[in-house]
Structure 1
Amino acid sequence: MTAGYGRTRVLHDVSITVPSGRAVAVMGLNGAGKTTLLRVAMGLLPITSGSIVIDGEDVTGTRPSARVRRGLGYVPQGQLSFPTMTTRENLQLVAPKNAAAIDQILDLFPALRAVLDRRAGLLSGGQRQQLAIGRALLTKPKLLILDEPTEGIAPNVVAEIERTILELNSTGELGVLLVEQHVGFALRAAEHFYVLESGRITGSGEGGNDAGSRVRSMMAV
C-alpha cells in the first residue's frame, strides 16, 4: 500500500500480512510511518494505492466502523480513556449488559479490579493502558491492533501487558498487530516482525530474543 497526508507520501509500497491467530510486530524509529500504517489499516486515513484485506475480503473503501464489525480492535497511542467516567463505566460503555465479559477482562488485568470505581483520569498510565486494551477486547476482535502499548509504562506493567498478549495469542483465536519501539518486548510478544524505515519495509523475520541484535542493527541510525 501507499499512503500519506495530502501531497506528502509517508508509506511507500508497504505490504504486511498478519496470519489468523498470530502475533506480528512492526518496529521502527519515530517518524518511520508506524502510526500511519495503523491508521490506514483502520480506515482512518485513505490509501493512495493498494488494498486492505480482512479474511479474504477487500475492505479498502469501508468505514472504520465496518472494519470493527469485521473484527478489528484498535488501541491507539496515549492510553486513551473517558477520563470523567470510572473504570467500570468505561468498560460498561462497550459491553453495557455483559457482566461476564467484563469479568473476563478483569481476570486478564487484575489491577483494574481495585480501581473499578475510580475515575479513569485519575488512574496511572499503566492502568489506563490496561483499560484501553480491555475495552478493545470487549468488542471480541479477530485482530487486535496495538500502537506503542509500552510507551511511558512502568516495567512491571509492561510485563503484565506482555503476559496478556501471549496468553490471548496462545489460543490461536486472536491475531495481534503490534507497533512498538521496545525491541525486546516486541520480539517476545510476536512470532514475526517487520522493520519500517522512512515508510518502507527494510527487513523482516521470525520473532524471539535471538533476533534482537539483528533488529537493533536495522534500526540503528
Structure 2
Amino acid sequence: MLSLQNIHVGYDRADVLNGVTLEVPAGQIVAVMGHNGAGKTTLAKTAVGLLTPRTGRVLLDGEDVTKLRPHQRVKRGISYVPQGQLSFPQLTTAENLQVVADGVRGGGEMVALMYERFPVLREFAGRKAGLLSGGQRQQLAIARALITGPRLLILDEPTEGIQPSIVAEIERHIVSLAADGLTVLLVEQHVGFALTASSQYAVMASGRITSHGEGGAAATDAVRAAMTI
C-alpha cells in the first residue's frame, strides 16, 4: 500500500534519511525500530507529507503522492498519530473526538464506533483531555486518527511514556485494527511490543535501513543485534 523509494530528506541542508526504501504491504503491520536520532520520525513525517523529499518518491497504492500536502494524503486514506499523546487539553474527551468528526461524513457514527473500540474514552467522555493519564490520551489520539476512516495508520512511538499494562492494551488494539484490514506503519523503540504486533520489521540507524525481516518474537535477537551496531 505504501512505498517509500530511495528517499533523501532532511532539515535545511542536512539529510536525515539517506536513500531509504521501505514497502508497507496492504493489511499488514510493519514496525520501524531504531534508537533516538535514527530517522524514524523523519520517515513517518515524510510518509504523511509533513516533509518533502529532496529525491525519491512516496507511493500510495501505486499513486505518486510525493508532492501532495498532508490534508490531501488524509483524503486518500492516510492518518498519522505523532508521538507525545497529542490532544486539545482544555477540551473534553468527547469534544476532542467531535472536533475531528465535524469534518468527516458519518462522523457521529465513527465517534460511536470509537467508544466501542476504546471503552475508557466513553468512561471519561466528560473529562478534559489534559487530565487523562498518558495511556488514556494515547488511546484518544489513536481514536481521533481513526475517525477519518483511514486505510493506512502511521503511529509514531505509541508506547512512549506509557505504563506496561497499557502498552499491552494498545498492542491489542493495533493488532485488532490490522485484523479488520487496516494497514499500519508502526514507528517504535520498544522492541518486544513492536515485534509482537508486526508482521514485518525494519531497523534504522543513521538515516538508513540496516536490517529487515519478518516480525514476531523469533526476530528479537536479530533486531537487538542490529540495534547495537
Q: Shorter chain as normaliser: what TM range?
A: over 0.9
Q: Which runs of 4+ in 1 moved over 2 A?
A: 96-100
The alignment status of 1:212 with 2:223, answered yes or no, reads no
SS of residue in 2 equivalent to 1:146: strand
| 2:40 maps to amino acid | K
The alignment status of 1:202 with 2:210, answered yes or no, reads yes
CA distance in 2, matches of 1:100, 1:41: 28
1:98/1:63 Cα in 2 relative to 1: closer, same or farther (>3 Å)? closer
Q: Percent identity?
A: 59
Quick one: which of 98, 105, 111 aligns to 2:114? 105
Match of 1:54 in 2: 60
Q: How does 1:106-121 map to 2 (within 5 A)?
A: 106-121=115-130
Q: How does 1:168-207 map to 2 (within 5 A)?
A: 168-171=177-180, 173-207=181-215
CA distance in 1, matches of 2:120, 2:218: 32
Q: CA deviation at 1:99?
A: 3.1
Q: CA deviation at 1:101?
A: 1.6
Q: Which moved more, 1:40-49 or 1:201-210?
A: 40-49
CA distance in 2, matches of 1:102, 1:154: 26
Q: CA deviation at 1:43?
A: 1.1
SS of residue in 2 equivalent to 1:47: coil
Match of 2:35 in 1: 29
Q: Deviations over 1:14-73 (max 9, x none)?
A: 001111111100000000000011111111111110000001100111110000001000
SS of residue in 2 equivalent to 1:51: strand
Match of 1:131 in 2: 140
Match of 2:4 in 1: none
Q: Which runs of 5+ in 2 are unaligned?
A: 1-6
- 8 A Cα contact 2:107 2:147, kept in partner: no
The alignment status of 1:159 with 2:168, answered yes or no, reads yes
CA distance in 2, matches of 1:158, 1:72: 23
TM-score (norm 2): 0.94
Q: Which has the higher strand share?
A: 2
Q: Deviations over 1:158-177 (max 9, x none)?
A: 11110011111012x21000
| Corresponding pairs, count | 220
CA distance in 2, matches of 1:75, 1:103: 20
Q: CA deviation at 1:104?
A: 1.4
Instruction: Provide the aligned C-alpha RMSD in A.
Output: 1.0
SS of residue in 1 equivalent to 2:159: coil
Q: Deviations over 1:89-145 (max 9, x none)?
A: 001111136333212112221111211000001111111000000000000001000
Match of 2:46 in 1: 40
| 1:58 maps to amino acid | D
- 8 A Cα contact 2:27 2:182, kept in partner: yes
TM-score (norm 1): 0.97
Match of 1:3 in 2: 9
| 1:214 maps to amino acid | A
SS of residue in 2 equivalent to 1:16: strand
SS of residue in 2 equivalent to 1:52: strand
